[in-house]
Structure 1
Amino acid sequence: LIDYINSWGPMILGHAHKPVVDAVVEKAKKGTSFGMPTEIETKIAELAVLMVPNIDKIRFVNSGTEACMSAVRLARGFTGKDKVIKFAGCYHGHSDSFLIQAGSGASTFGT
């Protein structure tokens, strides 16, 4: 079986890549759900800020859908405008406003 879409992006190292599985198992031993930020999340955020100095704030979310929803919410709050631009035929998350003319890019339009 060949996964040509890599689970829509997060599988860039392949399925069950041993170093990834080992890292997940090691971290899962410390717990799986905490309901609030953990020390490792804080360290990851600090590392991201070091790598991209113009980042002011970081928000971790559970999915690309939540990331898009947060981005739209922030953009609307910052600009005071309601409308946003999105690409027709592309997938921007599973939220009602993103699903209008959603799809898989060019293949959605038969090209």
Structure 2
Amino acid sequence: MSSYHTEVQNLNYNAATRCFEALVVFHEGHETRKVPISAPLPIATDFEAVSTILVARAKSHRAKGRAKMMARSPAQKMGKLVHLNDMIRQFKATMGLSDMSTAA
């Protein structure tokens, strides 16, 4: 069974656009997906209502393929944080640079 939870990070109110803006983070098993989202709401809106609306909009955008700036990164690997060297190795393999030595 995979774990799944959602959090709202960096919640701000943009007075110029009269919108709440945030980064909605979906933790899905061993992956983390981040979706920047905004919602036009009055500044006096309750935090619970704002976060519920932002999460719903992020889910909708993601389901419709409109979350163009979505970041996707591994959060954990076998219960441990992914080691930087593993990430470098994966990047090199993806880019076809596996024969390059690792910088110290």
TM-score by length of 2: 0.31
TM-score by length of 1: 0.30
Relative to total residues, which structure has the larger helix share, 1 or 2? 1
Q: Which has the higher contact order (CA 8 A, sep 6+)?
A: 2
Relative to total residues, which structure has the larger strand share, 1 or 2? 2
